[in-house]
Amino acid sequence: MRRRRGPGPPPPPQAELQHELSRAKSRHQKLVECRRAYYYAYYGSWGGWEAAPGSTVRELYVLKKLSSRWQWAGSVVHDALKQMLSRARATGDFLSLDRMLERTRARARAQWSTSREKSYWREASRIVGLVEHEYGDVVPGEDWKRLYEGVVDGALRAFYASPTFEEIRRTPREQWLSVDELDSWSFEGTKIWVAIDFAYRDADGRVRILDWKTGKERGVDHTQVGIYALYAQRKWSAPPDQVLGGLVYLVANGAGSGGDTVSVAADAAALERCQAEMRHSIGEMRAVLADPTRNQALIDQFPQHAERDGCRRCPFRRPCGRM
């Protein structure tokens, strides 16, 4: 007879989740756009994942997870490319464009349907939610169709037809370094979050960083890739002159066509500018705190934006009183 084993040692205790000040592109942008929304997203909602339904902190946590339809479309593209490239990295098999479009459309339809039903209130960390559904914004069906065809479908078609994708297919998988993997590094004592869409070593041994974009070109995009370059130097022990950055704009803008790549300067001067911008951004985040050493904030130090133009796209319009 086999002896029954005892229960064994207890599992190790889970580390307590620390509420620490960190920097990410999205956090920086939120601070710039609206101080009150920044407070709700990073302080008022803290702990909301385990708060009681109906509580203020739970509501703020769920609302924080919502996206506008434009943000959602961009996320659908990024998720589709991540899944396709991660699968190719593991198997060597690249999905055909038709199969890619079919899978993405099915996934997007499922997300849109569950959002319309407001299922995200059950489990906001796993279920996609749209601001338009939460607030009952009227969006004509033709607008949804134009958004999907122009941004999601158009971006994926542009990617498959791009020189960038051809270069990725030619690059041996052992030279792939990252496929949209969340990571962090420390800059002067502050955690910096990064998620490089794609990184690889080219035939000359240089580290190439690529970032997919479904919107128009902005200066902040170049800063973001510069920060990625600083991370790449540390992560993959790459000399500064051996890191190259690129922004791949997948939706046609102006005279450019979808799939165009814009090179990003990663020389010493450009990277010093990125570090200066990070210092300034982190300094602003600390300056608005009631207690910077404990990362504690008071809502009165985060005033509402004077202009209301952006409020209609904001998930916090209800708690903010700007319906």
Q: Please indicate, yes or no, whether residues 31 and 92 belong to a single structural domain of this protein.
A: yes
Q: Please indicate, yes or no, whether residues 151 and 184 belong to a single structural domain of this protein.
A: no
Within-domain flag for 99: yes
Q: Please indicate, yes or no, whether residues 134 and 182 belong to a single structural domain of this protein.
A: no
Would you say residue 155 has pLDDT above 80? yes
The domain total for the chain is 2
Query: Looking at residue 2, what is its pLDDT?
Result: 39
219-229: average pLDDT:
93
| CATH classification of the domain holding 171 | 3.40.1350
Give the residue among 68, 86, 261 at the shortest CA–CA distance from 151: 68
Degrees, nearest 5: CA angle 139-45-318: 40
Helix residue ranges, H only, the chain? 25-33, 35-39, 56-64, 69-91, 97-116, 131-134, 141-147, 154-161, 163-170, 219-235, 268-287, 317-320
Q: Please indicate, yes or no, whether residues 58 and 35 belong to a single structural domain of this protein.
A: yes
282 CA to centre of own chain? 19
Within-domain flag for 297: no
Q: Please indicate, yes or no, whether residues 100 and 171 belong to a single structural domain of this protein.
A: no
Within-domain flag for 47: yes
Q: Please indicate, yes or no, whether residues 155 and 63 belong to a single structural domain of this protein.
A: yes
Looking at 162, 195, 229, the residue that finishes a domain is 162
Q: Please indicate, yes or no, whether residues 149 and 229 belong to a single structural domain of this protein.
A: no
Within-domain flag for 12: no
Token pair, residue 244, equals 């190259």
67-80: average pLDDT:
97
Query: Looking at residue 7, what is its pLDDT?
Result: 45
Q: What is the pTM of this model?
A: 0.91
Q: Please indicate, yes or no, whether residues 28 and 155 belong to a single structural domain of this protein.
A: yes
**Percentage of residues of the chain with pLDDT beyond 90:** 84
Would you say residue 15 has pLDDT above 80? no
Would you say residue 283 has pLDDT above 70? yes
**Average pLDDT value for the chain:** 92
**Domain of residue 224, residue span:** 167-286
Output the furthest CA–CA distance in the chain (Å, rounded): 78
Q: Please indicate, yes or no, whether residues 45 and 74 belong to a single structural domain of this protein.
A: yes
Q: Please indicate, yes or no, whether residues 147 and 179 belong to a single structural domain of this protein.
A: no
Within-domain flag for 133: yes
Q: How many residues does the chain have?
A: 323
Query: Looking at residue 217, what is its pLDDT?
Result: 83
Q: Please indicate, yes or no, whether residues 42 and 133 belong to a single structural domain of this protein.
A: yes
pLDDT tens digits, 229-267: 999 999 999 998 999 999 999 997 654 567 889 999 888
Looking at 146, 162, 178, the residue that finishes a domain is 162
Q: Please indicate, yes or no, whether residues 134 and 200 belong to a single structural domain of this protein.
A: no
pLDDT tens digits, 85-133: 999 999 999 999 999 999 999 999 999 999 999 999 999 999 999 999 9
Within-domain flag for 172: yes
Within-domain flag for 88: yes
Looking at 162, 183, 218, the residue that finishes a domain is 162
Within-domain flag for 36: yes
